[in-house]
Amino acid sequence: MANPGFIKNFTATAVIDAYRIVAFDSTSDFSVKQATGVATPIAGLSEHGSSSGNREIRCDVVMDQTGVIEYGADIATGDVLVSDDEGKAVVFTPAQYADDAAVWAIGIALESGDAGTIGSTTISPFLIIK
């Protein structure tokens, strides 16, 4: 169950799907993109994704408290969540990310589910440095 806190509207540098991890895009101030792994600082979660039209693409990003996210693999309550290459949540395991000096995580899973589940997570981005 989501209890979104601060929601900020950003310029999206590409289309962002709903329920995905969103990362900052360093090419421009106040811009975001769908996360594609663990290397880019995380802004938060997209609830509705981005929309486009004749204007620039915009996206509301939930930046703290709790939110809903699409799971990209089996997840258990209490797992630390990171982004896969599609911005879906997967479990952080030190062995899987052994070659990464730093890993950005979105938060902690609040409920269990398998791939495709729209589950709940804390939104408290943090950096794991090894």
The overall average pLDDT reported for the chain is 94
Provide, rounded to the nearest whole percent, the portion of the chain with pLDDT above 70: 95
pLDDT score, position 1: 66
Inform me whether the pLDDT recorded for 126 exceeds 60.
yes
Name the nearest CA neighbour of 106 among 36, 43, 47, 13: 43
Q: How far apart are CA 113 and CA 3, in angstroms?
A: 19
Interval 65-120: pLDDT, tens: 999 999 999 999 999 999 999 999 999 999 999 999 999 999 999 999 999 999 99
pTM > 0.85: yes or no: yes
